[in-house]
Amino acid sequence: MMDVIGRGLTSASQVDPEIHNETKGFPAGFIVRMTVFPNGPDFTAQSQPDGSLALLKNFGGKPDLTVTFKHISHAFLVFSFQEGTARAFANDRMVADGDLSYAIRLVRCLNKMEALILPKMVAKLAVKQYPEDLSFTQKLNLASRIYLKVAQTYIKRS
């Protein structure tokens, strides 16, 4: 699921104007990693000059921001959409190593992505506040474009 979230986030940064605007706030070359302690699943993404995010493979350096779930069960709560990312931070289930303002920016991106790709009923459980101005047609259009980009990343990989 962590792989899907990473691919979804990078795809959403290319498709959704609001998420793209948020990711433009990362400096070019900014590296963010989301992982599970101690050696669980992870993804690493880098901010591109155009403001979008791109996945990095086999990155061995120190990222500018690392968001770490303290246990695999905590990650499961978030990625099975039983608990939102903001609630997980509040419940001390994850920790950010890096500039807190960038971590908040990342959480906003994850929340918007979840609101777009999940059915409204599930998304309302997963995010702190569901976007009021998100129409069904807009959601369907953006979600289908994100899903298509995610699927393309899996096809290119094989």
What angle in degrees, to the nearest 10, is found between the helix axes of 136-157 and 100-117? Answer: 100
Phi, psi (rounded to 5 degrees) for 82: -90, -20
For domain 2-150, say whether CATH 3.30.1050.10 is its number: yes
E strand or H helix at 53, and its extent? strand 53-56
DSSP state of 84: -
The answer to whether 7 and 153 have CB atoms below 8 angstroms apart is yes
pLDDT at 158: 55
List residues bridging with 55 in a β-sheet. Answer: 45
pLDDT at 75: 92
pLDDT at 147: 95
pLDDT at 79: 84
Q: What is the CA radius of gyration of the chain?
A: 15
Omega before 38 within 30 of 0, i.e. cis: yes
pLDDT at 81: 81
E strand or H helix at 146, and its extent? helix 136-157
pLDDT at 74: 94
pLDDT at 139: 94
pLDDT at 157: 66
10-residue stretch averages of pLDDT, the chain, 158 residues long: 92 96 96 94 96 93 96 91 84 94 93 92 84 92 95 82
Phi, psi (rounded to 5 degrees) for 76: -60, -40
pLDDT at 48: 97
